[in-house]
Amino acid sequence: MDIVRFTALERHYGGKCVFEGLCGVIRAGEKIALVGPNGAGKSSLARILAGRDESEGGKVLYARDVRLGYLAQDASESDTRTLRAAFEDALEAGHAQEWQMRSILDRFDFSGDDLERPLQEFSGGQRTRALLARTLLTEPDWLILDEPTNHLDLATTRRLETLVARDPRAILVISHDRAFLENVATRIWELNEGELAEYEVRPGRAYTMYLEEREIRREQQRRAYEAAQADQTRRKAVIAELRTHGSHNYSAVRSRERLLDKAKVDAAQAPRAQRRGIAVALTAARRATNGIAVEIQGLSKAYDRTLFSDMNAAFTRGERIAIVGPNGSGKSTFLRILTGELAPDHGSVRFGTGLRTAAYSQSSVDDLPAGATAAEAVMEMGVTDGEARGLLGRMNLSGSAGDKRVEAFSGGERRRIMLARLMAQRADCLFLDEPTNDLDIPSCEALESVLASYDGALFVVSHDRYLLSRLANRVIAIEDGTARIIDGDYATYERLEHEREERIVAPKKAVVRTKRLVQTAPPAEQRTPHEIKRERERLKREATQAEQRVAELDAERLRLEQRFAAPETYADPALVVELQREIERMRAESAAALSAWEAALHAHERFSE
């Protein structure tokens, strides 16, 4: 079933054509990833398909009686309501019930107390989670999610990834998170230079398949273009030969010239010039050895709670360490202590002899000298004007860009200027805090290549799992006041984290739900008979709904186990692994649901006594 079909869509800003002639179809159940460089018009296309903006040409046709759930990129910044008000609007817009609202609150890590808080009091990640939960609560038939992983920590991003992948509805998602796209997309749309290209992909290898197919198409286009040019050159030579030897058959010469005009290679047939990557060579001042780069002893830090305590570790030159953990766990604080910007409560940080360091923080763009040109900002690091412009040029900020004030650049461009300043320092050890923020996918990939070739020590805080998977060979995981050091790459950390979550998810969910169900109510004598009756009915309803949830999960688990037992399943090893994980997850959810049902029954019985 076609959910949306659009033809010949156009968008212009001023005299600039962003795109025109765009055509496409969104079908039921598809997970379409919309990718492309910043400024290509991805959000503009999403807003047109969502009905928020009008196209300047073309048509958008929707299936009858389908409702859209739309999460805008900047939605979390502009909503001033309380969480309850946002959710009540969603309840009115859809058919969801109160218990579903509380279930979604639980799924997105909110408590009942959070309902009365204004959205603007929450962190960026919490606001994103709240508005995503609100969008799902409206029970739409299909979804458009514009940068849904913005501000989310790794654990929440993984949960969202699982939710989107398993959702049966059609979803169009815009994201710079390549790992997210890799695991959820069934089709990828690439919007670039006003054209929309489609790629059929498979979840689990979606982004990888897109890159491979894109390279094949570009190579085919290049070969076709070169063949056409060679044919054109040959025809020109034949005509020149006929003229040189004074052919009197002017009609034959003219006929060949007309054929040549028809066969001329149109400029549109030429392979699209690809934007240059960031051709940066980050080099350490000294050649990497196995000597100590950074050593920490007894490192501790706390504010209103402990972030980490008694950390001891040594990191050698050439190692690449990923620092991961939930938002607010202390990752950036730990990095600031390593750089010397912040003092620990206890312990010490020691650098290797003669080690030169450089840092790149989330606020680095604010550290650029006000009023300075891009070239002057780089020259501050001790290089000449020519060297500064050369470094900027390697990052596609060439020519007159070096003479522009830093305030005139976009967020992503200012980060490139900061990277040029980083290069100019020739540090032996780099400390990077969210280096891919504000960068589009091509810039992320280019930066990734730069860092992969760096031979010094590297400490990086990032939510970009694709980057961490490529770079890290050790991981520091900070969470709940403790810091763990994993002597393995990022894939090892992900595997260990998955196993740990499987061990704790069932009892943790059961405890949380039980606490919410048996929260102490005001004494009965303080209630009217009507309030007592309504509370008793609510508890009975929640017990019934919990029982239904247990039955649903049991039925789903049985279906999975029957599929797992089918002989044809074992023809696909990847499917076998996925089904095993699904069955384990379903068993854990069933156990948690059963605990919640028992708690609901207990709460109802206590109230009825």
Who contacts 234 (Cβ-Cβ below 8 Å, separation ≥6)? none
pLDDT tens digit sequence for 383-427? 899 888 888 877 778 888 899 999 988 777 888 888 788 888 888
Q: What's the helix, strand, coil split of the chain in %, to 5?
A: 50, 20, 30
Are 327 and 449 in a shared domain?
yes
State residue 38's pLDDT score: 83
Are 207 and 317 in a shared domain?
no
Three-state DSSP state, 477: strand
Are 466 and 581 in a shared domain?
no
Question: Per-residue b/e over 309-326, b at no fewer than 16 CB within 10 Å?
Answer: bebeeebbbbbbbbbbbb
At which of 490, 522, 546 does a domain end? 490
State residue 98's pLDDT score: 74
pLDDT tens digit sequence for 490-501? 989 988 887 777
Does residue 500 lie in a domain region?
A: yes
Number of domains in the chain: 4
Q: Strand 142-146 relative to strand 68-71: parallel, antiparallel, unpaired?
A: parallel
CB 203 within 8 A of CB 31: yes
State residue 582's pLDDT score: 77
What DSSP element (H or E) covers 369?
none
Confidence class of residue 183 from pLDDT cuts 50, 70 and 90? very high
Chain centroid offset of residue 461 CA: 15
Does residue 536 lie in a domain region?
A: yes
* pLDDT mean across residues, the chain: 83
Q: Diameter of the chain by CA atoms?
A: 117
pLDDT tens digit sequence for 199-229? 999 999 999 999 999 999 999 988 888 888 8
Residue 595 has pLDDT above 80, yes or no: no
The residue-averaged pLDDT of 429-443 equals 85
Chain centroid offset of residue 168 CA: 21
Separation between Cα atoms, residue 258 and residue 275, nearest integer Å: 36
Domain containing 464 — which CATH number? 3.40.50.300
Does residue 284 lie in a domain region?
A: no
Three-state DSSP state, 294: strand
The residue-averaged pLDDT of 561-584 equals 74
State residue 553's pLDDT score: 82
Residues of the chain with pLDDT > 70, as a percent, come to: 84
Are 175 and 242 in a shared domain?
no
The half-sphere exposure of 598 on its side-chain side, counting CA atoms within 13 A, is: 8
CB 147 within 8 A of CB 174: yes
Question: Per-residue b/e over 152-172, b at no fewer than 16 CB within 10 Å?
Answer: bbbbbbbbbbeebbeeebbbb
Are 203 and 86 in a shared domain?
yes
CB 590 within 8 A of CB 557: yes
List, in sequence order, the alpha helices (H) in 108-249.
Answer: 124-137, 154-166, 178-184, 206-244
Are 43 and 166 in a shared domain?
yes
Confidence class of residue 311 from pLDDT cuts 50, 70 and 90? very high
Amino acid 237 reads A
User: What are the two backbone dihedrals, phi and then psi, of residue 84, each rounded to the nearest 5 degrees?
Assistant: -60, -45
At which of 165, 192, 212 does a domain end? 212
The residue-averaged pLDDT of 323-333 equals 91
Are 483 and 515 in a shared domain?
no
Angle between helices 529-565 and 573-608 (to 10 degrees): 160
- Give the DSSP letter of residue 82: B
Are 217 and 203 in a shared domain?
no
Does residue 278 lie in a domain region?
A: no
Residue 446 has pLDDT above 70, yes or no: yes
Does residue 276 lie in a domain region?
A: no
Residue 521 has pLDDT above 50, yes or no: no
Range of the domain at 219: 213-269
Does residue 520 lie in a domain region?
A: yes
The residue-averaged pLDDT of 62-73 equals 91
Are 10 and 52 in a shared domain?
yes
Does residue 281 lie in a domain region?
A: no
The alpha-carbon radius of gyration of the chain (Å, integer) is 29
User: What are the two backbone dihedrals, phi and then psi, of residue 277, each rounded to the nearest 5 degrees?
Assistant: -75, 170
At which of 194, 212, 230 does a domain end? 212
- Give the DSSP letter of residue 405: B
Looking at per-residue pLDDT, the higher value among 131 and 62 belongs to 62
Are 460 and 322 in a shared domain?
yes
193-197, 444-448, 513-517: which has the highest mean pLDDT?
193-197
Are 261 and 145 in a shared domain?
no
Amino acid 380 reads E
Separation between Cα atoms, residue 264 and residue 569, nearest integer Å: 54
Are 170 and 242 in a shared domain?
no
